[in-house]
Structure 1
Amino acid sequence: MKFNPHAKMRHATSDGVRRLSSQDEALPLLSIDDILHRRPYKPVITTRDRGWGGVTLDVHSPHFNISESYAGLDHHMITFCPSGSSKLTQIREGKVHRGVMSTGMSLLMPAGYDSTWEGDTGQSARLRIPISLVANAAEECDWRGPLPVELRNVFEARDATIMHLGLTLLLEAQKSPHATQRLMVDTLSAALAIHLLRTYNTFEAVERSGEARLGKHEITRLTEYIEDNLDRSIGLAELAGVVNVSRFHFIRLFKRSTGMTPIDFVEQSRIERARSLITDTNIPLAEIALMTGFADQSHFTRRFRDRVGCTPAAYSRDHGRRRTLRSRS
């Protein structure tokens, strides 16, 4: 598609088309799946086959002397640079930006913008964020402001929060699937949506005051639910549904009420269950790992050591049932 520097921005709409005016032809926006087939370069790392909800991550190798133009996307896109640097020209909404993308820098392209990219891309990680994720954050969190949410077009930024969340997602994408991954990705996606709403909303949002917390009975219900499902992956929306709040609101309520994030609480519960099984049974450690929701014994060993200060095998030697039986003989 040939870029027209005099054209007005086309905004994403709820019916999935972009419009300039009643006289203009309605054209479909490119979806997260569409853009994968439109770009000439395939990602070297992607989360598309992970079955993750929320944000989709694609990592691309450096490419040089590119000249690419695209129709608007039906989703928001953040691109950040994990390492290296490159000269890149970006053209959006009739504005031309020439700069150097270096390690730690990011850009934000809201849904609905035609775009042209020229120069070198360097290594890039692209976070593709559904409009619904940010819209739900705006509607379900304690925020006030005009709806629908409109994000700012940002050519260049150094945003520590985006880098932290993006790199954490990248690390997860490089790991084998494990039981806590779904909850972690849900949490990271929600945190990113809230950060976009708070930092890049065209219309300034105002956080409502108040110190709402989960009640004692709600904490009990959540604890019992987690204890009953430790052998499988538990999602953030699933936990929020137990106490009938949105997942965006749930993260803050849970942290305020327990002093821990949902991820930490679930993992702590898994470790405590594992310690009890080691102490009170003769079940092999590999089986305990699966019974407490860890992907495998190696993952179980790493997380147990981080939490307890020793490996499960060492804990078993010092506190396990076999040691007790030996001491009696």
Structure 2
Amino acid sequence: MPALDHLQVFNALNASPNARLELSAHLGDGLAAALWSNRDDARDYQAPSHHTLSCYIADGTGTFRRQRPADRGAPDKLCVMPAGHESNWVINGSIRLAHLYISEEQFALGCTRLLDREPREMQLREATFLDDPQQAARFRQLIDMDWSEPGERLLASSLAHDIIDHAVLNQVGLRHGLKLRGGLAPHQRRQLVDYIEAHLDQPLTLGELALRCNLSEYHFARMFRASFGLPPHQYLLARRLHRACRLLRLGTPALGEVALACGFASASHFSNRFRQALGATPGEYRAAFRA
């Protein structure tokens, strides 16, 4: 995920002389979060390249979308602002709100893992002032964490994934009138998902995966990206890290054993990749959840 000040929604709010950034952090895995206060303002978010989930923490009763002045916010109300959509907001009085910024790649992984659908055929449905007590409780738990403390930031990242999973399962629908071109056949995509999950502990290659679809490596890579929303190597790494996180949270095997179970060549390779993705070592991740 780009630096926070390159995220369009973050940057638009940060540019306001009335808005105050209380907290912000990259949470790894294409996720970032921020806690804002604002008063008597107007903000426009124009076709951002990322998704934004928002929860009103306090006040907000004078906040509305310019096209819908009769609908007003309130504490615990949620807004879903998908990538590519424009929204225009008026803030009368004060508001305190939390944002969770989500990359398109992380959204794609959720569609594949939770919905067994191609990300390009799915869309996050826009919502304004949604009532969802479970999500609101997660947001409140999220902002109570100290994002500057490494262990708590890892717990915040895990909670952010729970928020995203809930949104994918409840706020995602099919794109209407979409004609898919290219990509893998549905049965090929499902077979690949099953094969990759069953062989995460092995050194899978692009050629091996392409052979299973009877395609050249070049055409396979293009069609895989069309169907999965990200390149094969990035998808494979995400699945390896997902398994590693589960093993670190729930089990007690040595880090070297976790590395081998997830297909990393060595404990040092595993640690480097883990740190690049999550901003902490596997040992620090395990310690955070044990604490």
Could you state the TM-score of these two structures normalised by the residue count of structure 1? 0.50
Matched, 1:86 2:56: no
Note the residue ranges of structure 1 that are not aligned, 5 or more in a row.
1-28, 222-240, 272-290, 307-329
8 Å contact from structure 1 (residues 138, 149) kept in 2: yes
Whole-Å separation in 2 of the counterparts to 1:201 and 1:156: 16
- Indicate the residue corresponding to 1:31 in structure 2: 8
State the Cα distance separating 1:32 from its structure 2 match.
5.0
- Indicate the residue corresponding to 1:265 in structure 2: 250
Matched, 1:70 2:49: no
8 Å contact from structure 1 (residues 133, 190) kept in 2: no
8 Å contact from structure 2 (residues 12, 45) kept in 1: no
- Which of residues 269, 283, 287 is equivalent to 1:293? 283
Per-residue CA deviations over 1:107-146 (Å, capped at 9, x if unaligned) read: 2122321312232343211112223321332245552367
Matched, 1:56 2:19: no
- Indicate the residue corresponding to 2:106 in structure 1: 133
Whole-Å separation in 1 of the counterparts to 2:34 and 2:102: 12
Whole-Å separation in 1 of the counterparts to 2:101 and 2:289: 30
Identical positions, percent: 14
Whole-Å separation in 2 of the counterparts to 1:169 and 1:245: 28
Secondary structure at 1:192 match in 2: helix
- Indicate the residue corresponding to 1:316 in structure 2: none
Note the residue ranges of structure 2 that are not aligned, 5 or more in a row.
1-5, 176-188, 204-232, 256-280
Per-residue CA deviations over 1:58-108 (Å, capped at 9, x if unaligned) read: 1123x44x13031414122222133x433133226x433432412x33221
Cα distance change on mapping 1:121 and 1:157 into 2, 3 Å: farther
Matched, 1:95 2:71: no
Cα distance change on mapping 1:171 and 1:52 into 2, 3 Å: farther
8 Å contact from structure 1 (residues 58, 127) kept in 2: yes
8 Å contact from structure 1 (residues 72, 113) kept in 2: yes
- Indicate the residue corresponding to 1:202 in structure 2: 173
Whole-Å separation in 2 of the counterparts to 1:53 and 1:250: 10
8 Å contact from structure 2 (residues 14, 21) kept in 1: no
Whole-Å separation in 2 of the counterparts to 1:53 and 1:209: 23
- Indicate the residue corresponding to 1:42 in structure 2: 20
Aligned residues: 217
- Indicate the residue corresponding to 1:235 in structure 2: none
Cα distance change on mapping 1:157 and 1:136 into 2, 3 Å: same
Matched, 1:120 2:93: yes
Tell which structure's C-alpha radius of gyration is larger.
Answer: 1
Whole-Å separation in 2 of the counterparts to 1:249 and 1:168: 28
- Greater helix percent: which structure? 2
Could you state the TM-score of these two structures normalised by the residue count of structure 2? 0.55
